[in-house]
Amino acid sequence: MSICPIEQRYRSNLNSFFEQENVLKSWLRVEVALAKAHAALGNIPAQAAEEIEEGAKKVKLERVIEIEEQIHHDLMAMVKALEEQCPNYGGYVHYGATSYDIEDTAMALLIHQASAVFKSDLVALKSVLKEIVKNKRNLVCVGRTHGQHAVPTTYGLVFANYLDQLNRAIELFDKALELVCVGKMTGAVGTGATFGPKAFEIQKLVMEELGLKAALVTTQVVSRDRHANLLFVLALIASILEQIAKDIRNLSRPEILEVAEGVVKSQVGSSTMPHKKNPHKSERVCSLARFVRANVLVGLENVALEHQRDLTNSANERIILSHSFILVDYMILQMKNILTNLVFYEQNIKKNLELSKGAILSERVMIALTEAGMSRQKAHELLRLASWQAQEKNIALFDLLSKNKEVLKFIKKEKLKELFDYTSYIGQAQKIVDQVLEY
From the number of C-beta atoms within 10 Å of its C-beta (0-12, 13-18, 19+), residue 146 rates as exposed
Beta bridge partners, 154, equal 140
Q: Which positions are annotated as active-site residues?
A: 146, 270
Q: Mind listing the pLDDT tens digit for each residue in 302-313?
A: 999 999 999 999
Q: Mind listing the pLDDT tens digit for each residue in 186-223?
A: 999 999 999 999 999 999 999 999 999 999 999 999 99
Q: Return the percentage of the chain with pLDDT > 90, whole number.
A: 93
Distances from the Cα of 215 to the Cαs of 185, 259, 348, in angstroms? 9, 48, 56
Q: What is the mean pLDDT of residues 317-323?
A: 95
Q: Return the percentage of the chain with pLDDT > 70, whole number.
A: 99
Which residue would you say has higher pLDDT here, 269 or 436? 436
What residues does CATH 1.20.200.10 cover in the chain? 97-263+280-349
Q: Mind listing the pLDDT tens digit for each residue in 145-187?
A: 999 999 999 999 999 999 999 999 999 999 999 999 999 999 9
Q: What is the pTM of this model?
A: 0.94
Fold of 97-263+280-349: Fumarase C; Chain A, domain 2 (1.20.200)
pLDDT at 137: 96
Q: Which CATH architecture has domain 359-419?
A: Orthogonal Bundle (1.10)
What residues does CATH 1.10.40.30 cover in the chain? 359-419
Q: How confident is the model at residue 329 (pLDDT cuts 50, 70, 90)?
A: very high
